[in-house]
């Protein structure tokens, strides 16, 4: 239990960003007009059958962030979604995630509460998604606690939130264990724990995520992150390249690829791979107008370090 608490307190916010606005919490070309306005493109982003009523604007904001990595476009779309689709918890959850990314701590707390309220309201008409986003609401509240109290003082409270997260995930899983939206969220959480805890089984978590979650571009990206953290760089590259076949304009995915290549180059002392990493850092930064300022600074820092290593 202590190991889970320590891992949770250290990794919760980053994981939050990766899934809901990540990592990664987790980012980018201009959103095309037909995605914003055409009803034919306003489908459930998770399911091809048994689709759920997710609002047009919420779905467009989801694609702006996760498919295109366009945080700039997502901000406006989320404002519209919250105004026009106030009962959709995913909209509030993404807004909370962007608040975290922008270090807007008041906004994080506000939209954490709104996520939980919308989820609990949704439970009567759609128990699966209601329970799912109730768990997300508690997850976000855990991030608020850690931010307010710190990882030492807030760890116990945050761990209690984690218990509530899994309590409601279990309720959702009892309704539809193979639901792709459920398995995407739960899969990211399971990978976070599996990669960081010595007694966990990352292969099992990866297999379940790949088989049952959607959309594919987030499934593959999550697996690439897991293999990166496991230092299995060839497999990480395989999955980040799969992601890029779907999200070829997303700079955050090029950043992930650059991280993997840089780690592999450092491990193998390989100049050619380091050069390739720098190329991918540059691809990510070519679209920095659409990225949060904090992420831009981080990419620039890692890019400088890669160039310094190459020079040496």
**Tens of pLDDT, residues 65-117:** 999 999 999 999 999 999 999 999 999 999 999 998 888 999 999 999 999 99
What would the pLDDT profile of 126-143 be if each residue is shown by its tens digit? 999 999 999 999 999 998
3-state helix, strand, coil split of the chain in percent (to 5) is: 80, 0, 20
Say if 238 falls within a structural domain. Answer: no
Residue pair 260/224 in contact by the 8 Å Cβ criterion? yes
Domain annotation covers residue 202: no
Neighbours of 44 (CB within 10 A): 17
Q: Residues in the chain, how many?
A: 312
Q: Is 193 a domain residue?
A: no
- Which 3 state secondary structure label does DSSP give 213? coil
Query: Taking the CB of residue 49, how many other CB atoms lie within 10 A of it?
Result: 5
| Maximum pairwise Cα distance, the chain | 62
Asked if residue 73 belongs to a domain, the reply is yes
b/e per residue, 180-199, with b = 16+ CB within 10 A?
bbbbbbbbbbbbbbbbbeee
User: What is the DSSP code string of 41-90?
Assistant: G---SS-SSS-----HHHHHHHIIIIIS--HHHHHHHHHHHHHH-TT-HH
For 103: left if phi > 0, alpha if psi spans -120 to 50, otherwise beta; the answer is left
Range of the domain at 38: 2-179
Q: Does residue 221 lie in a domain region? A: no
Residue 43's pLDDT band (boundaries 50, 70, 90)? low
Half-sphere exposure of 234 (CA within 13 A, CB side): 1
Task: Give residue 41's pLDDT band: very low, low, confident or very high (50, 70, 90).
Answer: very low
The residue assigned the tokens 């193979």 is: 178
Rounded to a whole number of angstroms, the distance between the first and last alpha carbons of the chain is 44
Element (H, E) at 268: helix 251-268
Q: How many domains does the chain have?
A: 1
Q: For 211-253, what is each residue's pLDDT tens digit?
A: 999 999 999 999 999 999 999 999 999 999 999 999 999 999 9
Q: Is residue 244 part of a domain?
A: no
- CA 220 to each of CA 164, 207, 225, 235: distance values in angstroms, whole numbers, following the listed order: 27, 11, 9, 11
């Amino acid at each position: 239990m202590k190991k889970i608490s320590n891992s949770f307190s250290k990794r919760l916010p980053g994981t939050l960003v990766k899934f809901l606005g990540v990592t990664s919490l987790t980012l980018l070309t201009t959103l095309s007009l037909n995605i914003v306005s055409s009803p034919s493109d306003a489908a459930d982003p998770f399911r091809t059958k048994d689709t759920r009523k997710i609002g047009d604007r919420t779905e467009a904001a989801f694609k702006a962030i996760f498919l295109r990595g366009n945080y700039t476009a997502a901000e406006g779309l989320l404002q519209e979604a919250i105004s026009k689709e106030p009962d959709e918890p995913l909209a509030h959850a993404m807004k909370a995630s962007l608040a975290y990314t922008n270090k807007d701590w008041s906004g994080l707390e506000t939209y954490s509460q709104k996520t939980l309220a919308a989820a609990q309201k949704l439970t009567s008409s759609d128990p699966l998604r209601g329970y799912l986003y109730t768990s997300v609401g508690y997850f976000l509240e855990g991030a608020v606690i850690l931010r307010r109290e710190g990882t030492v003082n807030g760890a116990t409270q945050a761990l209690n939130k984690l218990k509530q997260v899994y309590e409601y995930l279990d309720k959702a899983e009892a309704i539809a264990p193979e639901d792709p939206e459920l398995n995407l969220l739960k899969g990211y959480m399971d990978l976070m724990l599996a990669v960081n805890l010595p007694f966990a089984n990352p292969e099992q978590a990866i297999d379940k995520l790949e088989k049952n979650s959607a959309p594919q571009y987030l499934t593959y990206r999550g697996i690439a992150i897991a293999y990166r953290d496991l230092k299995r760089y060839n497999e990480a590259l395989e999955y980040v390249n799969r992601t890029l076949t779907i999200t070829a304009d997303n700079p955050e995915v090029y950043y992930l690829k650059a991280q993997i290549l840089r780690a592999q180059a450092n491990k193998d002392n390989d100049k050619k791979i380091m050069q390739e990493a720098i190329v991918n850092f540059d691809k990510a930064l070519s679209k920095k107008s659409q990225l949060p300022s904090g992420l831009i600074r981080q990419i620039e820092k890692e890019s400088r370090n890669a160039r310094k290593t190459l020079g040496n």
